[in-house]
Amino acid sequence: MKTVNFVRMTLPAKSVNEAYARVAAAALASQVDPTIEQMADIKTAVSEAVTNAIVHAYRGQEGGLVYITMRLMEDGSFIVSVRDRGCGIGDVRQAREPCFTTAPSEERSGMGFSIMEAFMDKLQVRSAPGRGTTVTMTKRLGR
Ligand X SMILES: Nc1ncnc2c1ncn2[C@@H]1O[C@H](COP(=O)(O)OP(=O)(O)OP(=O)(O)O)[C@@H](O)[C@H]1O
Q: Which residues are at the interface with Mg ion (CB under 5 A)?
A: 52, 112
User: Which residues 6+ apart lie within 8 Å of 20 measured at CB?
Assistant: 11
| Cβ-closest position to ligand X | 112
Cβ–Cβ < 8 Å for 29, 42? yes
Residues 42, 68, 77, 86: which binds ligand X (CB under 6 A)? 86
The sheet carrying 65-73 orders its strands as 3-12, 65-73, 77-84, 132-140, 122-128
Q: CA 98, 72, 127: angle at the middle one, nearest 5?
A: 40
Residues 53, 80, 120, 123: which binds ligand X (CB under 6 A)? 53
Nearest Cα residue to 97 out of 85, 109, 79: 109
- Catalytic positions are 48, 52, 108
Q: Count of H helices and E strands in the chain? A: 4, 5
Q: Binding of ligand X at residue 138 (CB under 6 A)? A: no
- 113: β partners: none
Q: Binding of ligand X at residue 126 (CB under 6 A)? A: no
Of 89-108, binders to ligand X (CB under 6 A) are 89, 95, 100-103, 108
109 binds, among ligand X, Mg ion, none (CB under 5 to 8 A by kind): ligand X
89 binds, among ligand X, Mg ion, none (CB under 5 to 8 A by kind): ligand X
Quote the least distance from Cβ 35 to Mg ion, whole Å.
25
Interface contacts to ligand X, rule CB under 6 A:
48, 52-53, 56-57, 84, 86-87, 89, 95, 100-103, 108-113, 133
